[in-house]
Structure 1
């Protein structure tokens, strides 16, 4: 393991704002994020596949009245978001190191107010549809986690994932699409991403890709 990656793993292991296997609360946090971790009753927003946590931290800065949780399986990635949140003294930001396929172990029914997906892997091969984070199975899971009227947001540079997600969300009985665009930066919806742009989003736009956006609500 590269020295830098090992350092990030150690940061994640020691960070107070990272929950992972072997640490306190990991096995008892489901349904108890407000009570046991944040110790308030503020709405909970989750970013799935959060990577380095840039969006989680960015939203946490802009909305101190909400709680934010970034979820990713890569400890070296979330360690960076963890360190940034600590640097900004964001007590409303936490990270969970876990696979999204195991999310039912960490979130209870009706526990969340919003779920964000920011540039997830589009998994374009047919055989990988089961891994697409907007497939019907995952959408049903998100619907269970969200409160009545809860929101689901997707940002992606992938036309494939955008069109696939429009279809699966439209076919879902749980969600209704409120708005969507295939070019966020040229849309009246631009302010809805709150000016938070990840490193990779900058790369994508620099190469000429447009950013697609979907906003859906739990029916």
Structure 2
């Protein structure tokens, strides 16, 4: 492990906008994120597998009247997002460093208003199907923490993951399902809010269509 990563881990361990194992708040904020971390009762939106937090921070810039939490296990990536938020004095954004598998331990039933999954690892091998972030076990977890009628959004460049997700959703009790295999050639562009991650910019430069799925639980 390089020195730079160790330094970043040490930095985020002291940051108020990062909650991770070792922090006294870790695992104790379920049902209390709004009041205890953000100090308000505004809507709560998650980005699952947030990476460097570009989407999380981008949404926080656009919607100061909402709270945003980026979730990822990679500390060096979270350092980037938390740094951007601090530099821009965005106090409506925070990061949770944890595995997505344990998400229901960190959020209470019905606590979350909306979930974004942006360019996740497609996990192409058959043995990794259960690890795909739109696999049934994850959808069950999202349904538990989302309020009734809460939205889930998926953006991906990966056609097999997009098709897998639609197949899974056919067996799920979801509502208002909309989707497109080419987001920027569709009438669903408004849902992207004009935010582009580094990966998304790269895919668009390579003329790879962006796939998008939205549904309510």
Residue of structure 2 equivalent to 1:31: 31
Q: Distance in 1 between matches of 2:32 and 2:112?
A: 11
Whole-angstrom CA distance in 2 between matches of 1:176 and 1:188: 19
User: Would the aligned equivalents of 1:107 and 1:145 in 2 still touch at CA under 8 Å?
Assistant: yes
The aligned runs of 1:86-97 (5 Å cut-off) are 86-97=86-97
Gaps of 5+ in 1: none
* 1:23 Cα deviation from its structure 2 partner: 1.1
Structure 1 residues 43-122: aligned runs within 5 Å: 43-122=43-122
What value does the CA root-mean-square deviation take over the aligned residues? 1.0
Residue 159 of structure 2 corresponds to 159
TM-score by length of 2: 0.97
Q: Distance in 2 between matches of 1:5 and 1:120?
A: 22
Q: Cα deviation per residue 1:49-108 (whole Å; 9 max; x = unaligned)? A: 000000000000001111000000001101100000011111110000000011111011
Q: When the two structures are superposed, what TM-score results if normalisation uses the length of structure 1?
A: 0.96
State the distance in 2 between where 1:10 and 1:25 align.
17
Q: Please identify runs of 4+ aligned residues in structure 1 that moved more than 4 A.
A: none
C-alpha distance in 2, partners of 1:43/1:24?
Answer: 24
Post-superposition shift, 1:170?
2.2
Q: Distance in 1 between matches of 2:5 and 2:14?
A: 14
Is contact 1:150-1:217 (8 Å) kept? yes
d(CA) in 2 for partners of 1:105 and 1:35?
Answer: 18
8 A Cα contact 2:104 2:144, kept in partner: no
* CA–CA separation in structure 2 for the residues paired with 1:32 and 1:22: 19
Query: Where do 1:107-186 residues align within 5 Å?
Result: 107-173=107-173, 175-186=174-185
Counterpart-to-counterpart distance in 2, 1:176 and 1:167: 15
Q: CA deviation at 1:180?
A: 0.7
Distance 2:134 2:75 in 1: 23
How far apart, CA to CA, are the structure 2 residues paired with 1:10 and 1:61? Answer: 26
Contact 2:111–2:147 (Cα < 8 Å) also in 1 = yes
How many equivalent residue pairs?
217
CA distance in 1, matches of 2:37, 2:154: 26
* Correspondence for 1:190: 189
Unaligned runs of 5+ in 2: none
- Aligned to 1:171, the other structure's residue is in SS state coil
* Residues 15-65 of structure 1: CA deviation (Å, up to 9, x unaligned): 110001111311311111012111111010000000000000000000111
